[in-house]
Amino acid sequence: MRYLILSDIHSNWEALEAVLAEARGGYDAAVCCGDLVGYAADPNRVVEWSLRNLAAVVRGNHDKACAGLEDLEWFNPVARSAALWTERALSVENLSYLRELPQGPIRVGDFQILHGSPLDEDEYLLSARAASELAEYLEAGVSFFGHTHIQGAFLLEGRDVEWIKKPDPEARQVQIEIEEGPRYLINPGSVGQPRDNDPRAAYAVYTPEDRRVELRRVSYPIEVAQAKILRAGLPAALADRLDWGS
């Protein structure tokens, strides 16, 4: 089996389409670490693709917010207005799909998927130090997470952590060989709103048989997604930030 690992799509259809076009034929099942919706202008299209095509998915904080399951007072004003717009835009069927999404971590094959951290789906896992405290809570050698929109991997050996970085701006991928022993916490990056100073859509492909994960980046027509965001009346800041990937 080869797995397409997605996270934080955030209603950005153009970014998802570019990922799927590039990965086509190179995977057998697709999974997502949460945040299908929120921010960009195509929530129904992204949810419809997800319910037909994802073999497994966990909910993200924006999925909860847009489905009315989360108190919006914790969201900043831009995220809050996008959540309210998304909830109004979603069809009844798509809203009920979002409401039913399971909380992570969940097991898929020999790995796990989760949104924030194995202990708290809403926690931002941003530092090697924070990751170093989680090894004992990981129930699989390889776990994929999202939420931070920062592509990369933590290799945990006891309390030692190695931080494996995303591809350089001129490279399309970084390859990680999975060793026996350490635990891996891997963020495939955000498909629809990268925040690691690279505007390209991020994703990963995991091949358990070859013990290999590829962290990949692909360009997409950002200006099309931006025009849709502005046309929908969503905050302009959500269009602008796609240019910078931050």
Q: Which of 3, 4, 5, 8 binds Zn ion (CB under 5 A)?
A: 8
Stretch that binds Zn ion, among 31-39, 86-94, 178-186, 230-238 (CB under 5 A): 31-39
Stretch that binds Zn ion, among 34-42, 110-118, 167-175, 210-218 (CB under 5 A): 34-42
Nearer CB in complex with Zn ion: 8/14: 8
CA 37 to CA 64: how far, in whole Å? Answer: 10
Nearer CB in complex with Zn ion: 8/121: 8
Nearer CB in complex with Zn ion: 6/135: 6
Asked if 42 interacts with Zn ion (CB under 5 A), we say no
Stretch that binds Zn ion, among 33-41, 111-119, 161-169, 237-245 (CB under 5 A): 33-41
Which DSSP helix (H) or strand (E) runs through 31? strand 29-32
**Chain mean position to CA 43:** 15
CA 66 to CA 82: how far, in whole Å? Answer: 8
Asked if 14 interacts with Zn ion (CB under 5 A), we say no
CA 43 to CA 35: how far, in whole Å? Answer: 11
| DSSP strand pairing (3-6 vs 29-32) | parallel
Report helix, strand or coil for 181. Answer: coil
Q: Which position's Cβ is nearest Zn ion?
A: 35
Asked if 196 interacts with Zn ion (CB under 5 A), we say no
Q: Which of 174, 164, 127 has its CA nearest to residue 148?
A: 127
Site size with Zn ion, rule: CB under 5 A = 2
Residues 6+ apart with CB under 8 A from 71: none
| DSSP strand pairing (142-144 vs 111-113) | parallel
Nearer CB in complex with Zn ion: 67/178: 67
Asked if 35 interacts with Zn ion (CB under 5 A), we say yes
Stretch that binds Zn ion, among 6-14, 89-97, 114-122, 208-216 (CB under 5 A): 6-14
- Contact positions with Zn ion (CB under 5 A) in 71-90: none
Which DSSP helix (H) or strand (E) runs through 46? helix 43-53
* Beta carbon of residue 189, minimum distance to Zn ion (angstroms, whole number): 11
- Which residue type, as a one-letter code, is found at position 191? V
Binding region for Zn ion (CB under 5 A): 8, 35
